[in-house]
Amino acid sequence: MQLTITKSDILKPKPDDSNLGFGSIFTDHMFNMDYNPENGWHNPRIEPYAPIEMDPATAVLHYGQAVFEGLKAYKTDSGAVRFFRPKDNFRRLNRSSRMLCIPEFDEEFVFDVMKQLIALEKDWIPGAPETSLYIRPTIIATDHFLGVRASYTYRFFVILSPVGAYYSEGFNPVKIWVTKNHVRAVRGGIGEAKTAGNYAASLYAGEEANKNGYTQVLWLDGVHQKYIEEVGSMNIFFVIEDELVTPMLNGSILPGITRDSVITMAKKWDVRVSERQISIDELIDAHESGKLQEIFGTGTAAVISPVGEMKYGDRVITIGGGKVGPMANRLYQVITDIQYGRTEDAMGWIEEV
């Protein structure tokens, strides 16, 4: 496939690196590619960032047949540009696609194109501490048809957004709200896919948590509403008697790349790690007996998000005195040091542009 590149005549002014927030500023160019059954994936092109015009009957608008990814390009002090485990994101995008009946794409080709897009937009990669260029590859169903079936045609696009911290708290403890009224996903559904509907399913409980002064929802499983699954849009970890515990991947939990990095790193440090079912009652008991030391979320956007307070029914518990715990702190430092090239990448997680 031959990539075409059309450069924008007008370049937007670059934002102030010190006040980026998350996900509201977009660069000058984007990647687009189309799919139909006759030609497969075709017409790959880098072109000026522009709206996607859609017929009101476009399938994705009605039935949410969409998958996406989130990864980042980082600038090091020497000005080099690098990615953190990018091929895992493209592998997961194809995995999500399979679950949503979307045709797979050539991961090597798209990775190569993304590198070209980042090279073209390199002046958009912010340099202020803990900032990066967030990369959002997305695939949407584009048939104009209201019957419920998998679309025959698709659009693959990649947009780029210079970002700072995902949460206004930055790397500071957030407050989480355990919901028993709502579930995010169930086993056998699409909970382990990175797909639009899972995020739509999280909104109502998220608003409820926010109204009550909490930042994120702690999700329990969809069958018993007993076992812990995720927090907000992140995977979740606990430190209980010096052991790192995280819910095992059971079909309704997203297989996070930061989750995997945390597990790998902790094992390398000889920390005991357990991927298993953990119930909310076990967590409360661990807190009452003084065994629960830390809770934190993991994800590409926030990296590590420590939890300082949790509300479950009428109980409010404070974790680690409401401060960032040593495990969360050590993991955050080492992962961000690898990402920004402040330490050697002994794990082979970095790809240079």
Measured from the CB atom, the residue of 145 and 199 that comes closer to ligand COI is 199
- The 284-313 contact track toward ligand COI, x by CB under 6 A, reads ---------------xxxx-----------
Q: Could you say which of 46, 117, 159, 234 contacts ligand COI (CB under 6 A)?
A: 234
Q: What DSSP character marks residue 128?
A: S
Q: How far is the CB of 298 from ligand COI (least distance, A)?
A: 8
- Are 145 and 61 a contacting pair, CB within 8 Å? no
Measured from the CB atom, the residue of 27 and 300 that comes closer to ligand COI is 300
Q: How far is the CB of 316 from ligand COI (least distance, A)?
A: 25
Measured from the CB atom, the residue of 206 and 308 that comes closer to ligand COI is 206
Residues in the chain: 353
- The 17-56 contact track toward ligand COI, x by CB under 6 A, reads ----------------------------------------
- Are 308 and 318 a contacting pair, CB within 8 Å? yes
User: Looking only at residues 160 through 219 of this chain, which bind ligand COI when binding is defined by CB under 6 A?
Assistant: none
Measured from the CB atom, the residue of 59 and 234 that comes closer to ligand COI is 234
Measured from the CB atom, the residue of 264 and 289 that comes closer to ligand COI is 264
For 9-27, letters b (16+ CB in 10 Å) and e give eeeeeeeeeeebebeebbb
* Residue 75: strand pairing partners: 81
Q: Who contacts 207 (Cβ-Cβ below 8 Å, separation ≥6)?
A: none
CA distance 127 to 77: 8
Q: List the alpha helices (DSSP H) in the chain.
A: 59-63, 86-99, 107-120, 196-200, 203-211, 257-268, 280-288, 326-339
Contact residues for ligand COI (CB under 6 A)?
Answer: 70, 233-234, 299-302
